[in-house]
């Protein structure tokens, strides 16, 4: 049994100190745990599927760094590679051979990517892909989907639905100019009719559609393949660029892009998370004719001192090589299926009126007794967020850590075990039975 009984005294003290020197007390808002009753937890170290806080409490971790750690925390293959590379240089300011190594793996694994460029984050990757689309089409508008999160650049944070920002009034208080806001159109995920209507009215001005083919920032929402097909058709007919944001899903659900699994091919794709082996990374790539808009070939600028840095590149190569055979991902997907099946069986047996859905190596609870599945952000908002806030705290107290918001999926890794899954399911049933 994991020790979740110690109080979070050190976490509280360090959190107070952080608030004195870091604005708002965190470098990313989710770390403030505002959506849950769980007190702020300060991490100390992590290995495999276990994370330990500064008070010595250990947790089975289902955050996995919010997605990057598909091989678990500090996998030996990545750690040893980094130890070797750090002795030879962390950043050069000129090209290094490992940029080719990682780029070639991405290009070879994804059918529709001819060329790639690296950035330092998913935000930068998506921001630049949008810039490429505008340059290629010479149009201003971007179409995004309610509940989708694509980083914190101005145009994509417009109409934000992330819990930390969505309650802000739409004014200059958020630092986003009206001219940027007005160039961002909003539709509903999995709603073909609404998309077609927007294209009918604005198609001549739409540069790009940006969408997660499998939505991972409103819990986990599976797409209707016909919906993705409608996006492809609308973009083709209007001359717009279709961008799939696979910062989370890329190389996590299969070795490559989920678009290849789903059979709908975008023009540009963004990557991040898994491809950096646990280090900060982003990438965007696609057809050669679009990518030629970048750098000396075209007018779109993108650079960065740490873009393609050797530490990230060697970590990414090590991680992808470990995943390349596919058997680790396949085994993890089977574990997720087992988790979901056992959860459904236990929920039914104990009269817990909730559900669960999954894709690849991710899952999400459905905290609404009237729903069998979640199809868009409207459904997500109808969940019992107050119950989730209590559930999160009780699970953390018993040594199981989920992301502190209902809008993030449950992330599994290749090192989670069946025993940990059984414990998690049993605790979830025990706790939900006591609070609903």
Active site residues: 149, 245, 273
Beta bridge partners of 282: 119, 272
Contacts of 249 (CB under 8 A, 6+ apart): 212, 213, 214, 216, 257, 258, 360
Is-contact 274 67, C-beta < 8 A? yes
The region, left, alpha or beta by phi > 0 then psi within -120 to 50, assigned to residue 304 is left
Strands 355-359 and 141-145, bridge-based pairing: unpaired
Angle of the 97-109 helix axis to the 310-323 helix axis, nearest 10: 40
């Amino acid at each position: 049994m994991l020790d979740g009984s110690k109080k979070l005294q050190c976490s509280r003290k360090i959190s107070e100190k952080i608030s004195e020197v870091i604005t708002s007390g965190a470098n990313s808002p989710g770390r403030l745990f505002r959506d849950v009753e769980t007190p702020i937890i300060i991490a100390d170290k992590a290995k495999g599927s276990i994370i330990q806080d500064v008070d010595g409490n250990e947790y089975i971790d289902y955050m996995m760094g919010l997605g990057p750690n598909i091989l678990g925390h500090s996998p030996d293959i990545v750690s040893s590679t980094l130890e070797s590379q750090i002795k030879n240089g962390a950043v050069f300011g000129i090209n290094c051979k490992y940029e080719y190594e990682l780029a070639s793996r991405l290009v070879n694994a994804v059918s529709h990517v001819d060329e790639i460029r690296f950035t330092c984050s998913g935000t930068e990757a998506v921001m630049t892909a949008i810039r490429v689309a505008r340059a290629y089409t010479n149009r201003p508008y971007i179409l995004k989907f309610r509940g989708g999160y694509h980083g914190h650049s101005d145009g994509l944070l417009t109409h934000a639905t992330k819990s930390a920002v969505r309650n802000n009034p739409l004014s200059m208080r958020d630092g986003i100019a009206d001219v940027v806001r007005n160039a961002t159109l909003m539709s509903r995920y999995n709603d073909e009719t609404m998309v077609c209507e927007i294209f009918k009215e604005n198609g001549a001005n739409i540069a790009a559609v940006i969408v997660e083919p499998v939505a991972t920032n409103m819990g986990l929402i599976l797409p209707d393949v016909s919906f993705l097909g409608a996006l492809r058709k609308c973009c083709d007919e209007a001359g717009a660029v279709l961008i799939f944001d696979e910062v989370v899903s890329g190389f996590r659900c299969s070795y490559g892009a989920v678009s290849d699994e789903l059979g709908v091919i975008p023009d540009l794709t963004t990557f991040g998370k898994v491809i950096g082996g646990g280090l900060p990374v982003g990438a965007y790539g696609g057809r050669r004719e679009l990518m030629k808009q970048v750098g000396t070939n075209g007018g779109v600028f993108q650079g960065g001192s740490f873009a393609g840095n050797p530490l990230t590149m060697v970590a990414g190569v090590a991680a992808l090589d470990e995943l390349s055979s596919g058997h680790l991902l396949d085994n993890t997907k089977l574990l997720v299926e087992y988790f979901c099946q056992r959860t459904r069986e236990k929920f039914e047996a104990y009269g817990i009126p909730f559900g669960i859905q999954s894709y690849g190596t991710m899952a999400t609870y459905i905290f609404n007794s009237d729903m069998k599945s979640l199809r868009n952000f409207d459904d997500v908002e109808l969940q019992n967020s107050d119950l989730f806030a209590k559930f999160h705290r009780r699970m953390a107290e018993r040594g199981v850590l989920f992301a502190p918001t209902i809008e993030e999926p449950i992330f599994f890794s290749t090192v989670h075990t069946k025993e940990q899954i059984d414990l998690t399911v049993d605790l979830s049933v025990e706790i939900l039975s006591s609070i609903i």
